[in-house]
Structure 1
């Protein structure tokens, strides 16, 4: 569980990145953390993981203050950064050294995931491509069985087949009692995975809703024309017509289009649930 109360943090005292930020998330969710470049997504993940110290307010993860980085906290949280640092070890050696740091590490799960990603256990991590390194660290993160997983741009560097495998292993190997936060600009890569959206703009949370509640109230469709449509919340021109967000009509629900929703929120459209 993550609890943030009146958090303030900034790289400059003149212009705080976050000021009086509040957020509470329980385990059992996969959250999509969205926002423009510079909105503070990566900074927030680093604060949650204890890599940065809050300047004001309160932040606890599983009851611990992250920046104190006590062993019981560190053994139950894993942060996959956009550009992970990996030592000059083989996968096999890395697992032997670092797997022991996580009390619930599942070696059988790890081997299943690296097989799915077609990684070789005797290959040195430093000799792998960036995409292969990302696949490895994702596999390791899932195998720790930490209650909190933080994934910053996890699909960067993955080709199309690997993105498909990423989605499959996340569905297959995430446990029901874990809390997963995925920060990404590649929203199409994760829109079938997440069950909650948190959108940050200008250092504050401007949208925080369950996917089920969004699709229960709004449709995301492509139409030939918007002429005659009632109560169009947001529209974008596209080949063949328009992509639109409109209220659900006669219980006709559609799949969520995160990119369209993101653009609507970024354009200050109120999506009231």
Structure 2
């Protein structure tokens, strides 16, 4: 569980990025953390992971203060950053060296995911493509079975089949005891796996809602034109007509178009 209360943060010689920011997220969720460039997504992930310390306010994750760097906390959180570097060693050597840091590491899960991603344990990490190294990092993260998993732009560098594999593997690997935070600009890559949406802008949370609550309130549709369509909350033109969001009724429900929802939120239409 994440509990953030009245947190403020700024980098040296920069204006405040977060000011009196609060957020609470329970375990058993896969959360999509969305926002434009510079909104503070990566900084928020670093605060949650204990890589940086808030200037004021309180953060607790699974009962720990992240920046205290308690060994029990570090053994139960894993972050996949957007940018990363590996030593020039083989996959199997890396796994042997780093897996003991995570008491719940599942080697069977790891090699099952390797098979899904077509990764060879004998491969040298620095001789793999960026996408292959990203897949390795995702596989390792999921195999730690940490209570908190943090992904910053996990689908960047993945081809279309690999993105589909990522969604399938994520859903099948995560348990109700875990909390997963995914920060991404590629919202279409995660719209079928998340069950909570959090949107931040200029260091402020402007939207948070569970997926089931969104589908009860909003209906997403594609129509040839807006003629005769009532109560349109937001619309975007596309080659086939208009993508729209309207209020949901008791007898209809739709799949969420996460990109359309995000644009509606940013444009203050919802």
TM-score computed with the length of structure 1 as normaliser: 0.97
Say which SS state the counterpart of residue 246 (structure 2) adopts: strand
Query: Runs ≥4 in structure 1, deviation > 4 angstroms?
Result: none
**Aligned-partner Cα distance in 2 for 1:256–1:18:** 29
Structure 1 stretches lacking a partner, 5+ long: none
* Structure 1 residues 128-176: Cα deviation after superposition (integer angstroms, max 9, x where no partner): 1100000000000000000000000000000011111111100111112
Question: In angstroms, what is the RMSD of aligned CA positions?
Answer: 1.0
**Aligned-partner Cα distance in 1 for 2:14–2:40:** 16
Partner of 2:11: 11
Partner of 2:30: 30
Partner of 2:195: 195
Partner of 2:149: 149
* Structure 1 residues 165-197: Cα deviation after superposition (integer angstroms, max 9, x where no partner): 111100111112100000001111100000000
Partner of 2:258: 258
Partner of 1:40: 40
Partner of 1:240: 240
Partner of 1:49: 49
User: What are the residue-to-residue correspondences of 1:113-262 with 2, within 5 Å?
Assistant: 113-262=113-262
Partner of 2:62: 62
TM-score computed with the length of structure 2 as normaliser: 0.98
* Structure 1 residues 208-240: Cα deviation after superposition (integer angstroms, max 9, x where no partner): 000111011211111011122111100111112
**Aligned-partner Cα distance in 1 for 2:110–2:14:** 46
C-alpha change, 1:14 and 1:93, in structure 2 (3 Å) is: closer
Say which SS state the counterpart of residue 8 (structure 1) adopts: strand
* Structure 1 residues 2-25: Cα deviation after superposition (integer angstroms, max 9, x where no partner): 110000001146620000000011
Say which SS state the counterpart of residue 262 (structure 2) adopts: helix
